[in-house]
Structure 1
Amino acid sequence: MSGTPGRPLSSELSEQLLSVTVDILAEEGWGRLNSDRIATRARAGKAGIYRRWPTMAALVHHAVSRFRLVPTPEGGDSLREDLIFLMACWTRPLDREERALASIVGAARHDEKLCAALDEALVRPLAAAVAELGRRAAERGEPIEPERLSLLGAVVQAFWWQRYTAGPNGMMTDEQLAQLVDDVLLPIAERAPVRTGAARI
């Protein structure tokens, strides 16, 4: 939080402004977010917003970077169980924070602050979660080759972005999620077959 010299900033008002910002993003989108709308809904002055954040992007960065969208895999007895746990959100509609994040995906391509918010809220936590899947698999005596784990992380991330851009049509049933894990994600993690040369005819 930036702030300017003067009286201390109220943490209660800061939280209120952040909450209203997330509400507007989730309900109306990035294109409708501005200081007037935030001030009206928060019943606060615009000066109080700009004392804390110099731009709307800086405000959104602060709000979104605090999201905890990626669950930490734990308790599964297999890579399959861990992947289903990690991807379980696909069987539910986007929640408030996810809708807020989804609203800035397009704009983040052109704004460093918004891009950094996505990185902190999703990209890095997701990479950490996939790394944890690899660590747990190795502990079970089923290590995943680094190249395979990296590819798995890239594909999981791609599916995650798809979730935020597909809208309601992106939801899956439990059966569809299991099929995704069995037919797409697990094969990526498997050891590549050893090639012994061209087949003879």
Structure 2
Amino acid sequence: MTSTPRAPGRPKDPAIDEELLRTTQDLLIEDGFERLTMDAVARRCGASKATIYRRWTSKTALVVAAAAALFTAPDVPDTGDLREDLLACGRAYITADGRNAKVLASVLAASRHDAELRDASQEALGAPYSSLFVQVLSRAVARGVLSPEVDIDLLAEVFPAIAYHRIAAEGLQVVEADIIRTVDSVLLPALHTFTR
């Protein structure tokens, strides 16, 4: 029987990971992405920079991991009703508290001027949420509810773009009224011409 060799050094402690991510979130809220440093995270946690770099190779990787720890995209809704499914997709953007929105706003604001952060945050934070709309619309086409001519990719970007503007540009949280207005006044009217 062969055993898998253990990586050199001490095994990573999940409690340290959580503390580093929580501290990074705090510093994003307090100072923003630009002023956040690995030194500051290490100092506040009483850890070494080597401890951080063993887990995340860069400041961008750490920040994206810290933001992603606050967000878990739900399962793709399937209520049997297109409107309800679209509303459920939108509700995935509602945050339980202001902390999540403040961290996300900090990351989104900085990503406008940092291509690496923009790409990494889009992959980790944006794509799992916008894909909800893609999957719901694609399923509606597959079920014959919508015509195959519908521009799924374009329409799937509508709500994420509105949410981005609300959070990053206005510093506000997405609320239920935003979701209902977007679905009822923008998405469903746009989809109406493609309804079978």
Q: TM-score range by the shorter chain?
A: 0.7 to 0.9
**Cα-to-partner distance string for 1:45-71 (whole Å, 9 max, x where unaligned):** 233223433432232233335553543
Residue 133 (structure 1) shift: 0.9
Residue 161 (structure 1) shift: 1.0
Residue 149 (structure 1) shift: 1.8
Pick from 107, 122, 126: which aligns with 1:123? Answer: 126
Residue 152 (structure 1) shift: 1.0
**Partner Cα separation in structure 2 for residue 37 and residue 152 of structure 1:** 41
Cα root mean square deviation, aligned = 3.0
- Tell me the residue number matched to 2:180: 178
**Cα-to-partner distance string for 1:32-55 (whole Å, 9 max, x where unaligned):** 311232123212223322343343
* Compared CA separation, residues 86 and 144, structure 1 to 2 (3 A): farther
Query: Is 1:132 aligned to 2:132, yes or no?
Result: no
Pick from 36, 40, 54: which aligns with 1:37? Answer: 40
> Which residue type is aligned with residue 167 of structure 1?
G
- Tell me the residue number matched to 1:102: 105
**Partner Cα separation in structure 2 for residue 27 and residue 145 of structure 1:** 47
Contact kept, 8 Å, 2:159 with 2:182, in 1: the verdict is: no
**Partner Cα separation in structure 1 for residue 103 and residue 80 of structure 2:** 33
Unpaired segments of 5 or more residues in structure 1? 194-201
Query: Is 1:79 aligned to 2:82, yes or no?
Result: yes
Q: Which segment is superposed worse, 68-77 or 88-97?
A: 88-97
**Partner Cα separation in structure 1 for residue 176 and residue 100 of structure 2:** 22
Normalising to structure 2: TM-score of the pair? 0.75
3-state secondary structure, aligned to 2:163: helix
Contact kept, 8 Å, 2:149 with 2:194, in 1: the verdict is: no
* Compared CA separation, residues 125 and 144, structure 1 to 2 (3 A): farther
**Partner Cα separation in structure 2 for residue 118 and residue 146 of structure 1:** 30
3-state secondary structure, aligned to 1:29: helix
Unpaired segments of 5 or more residues in structure 2? 1-6
Pair member with larger Rg? 1
Normalising to structure 1: TM-score of the pair? 0.74
- Paired residues in the alignment total 187
Pick from 26, 29, 43: which aligns with 1:26? Answer: 29
3-state secondary structure, aligned to 1:142: coil
- Tell me the residue number matched to 1:191: 193
* Compared CA separation, residues 152 and 144, structure 1 to 2 (3 A): farther
Pick from 157, 171, 178: which aligns with 1:167? Answer: 171
3-state secondary structure, aligned to 2:171: helix
**Partner Cα separation in structure 2 for residue 124 and residue 146 of structure 1:** 23
**Partner Cα separation in structure 1 for residue 146 and residue 88 of structure 2:** 19
**Cα-to-partner distance string for 1:129-165 (whole Å, 9 max, x where unaligned):** 1122123323653124354322211212211211322
3-state secondary structure, aligned to 1:125: helix
3-state secondary structure, aligned to 1:76: coil
* Compared CA separation, residues 69 and 26, structure 1 to 2 (3 A): farther
- Tell me the residue number matched to 2:51: 48
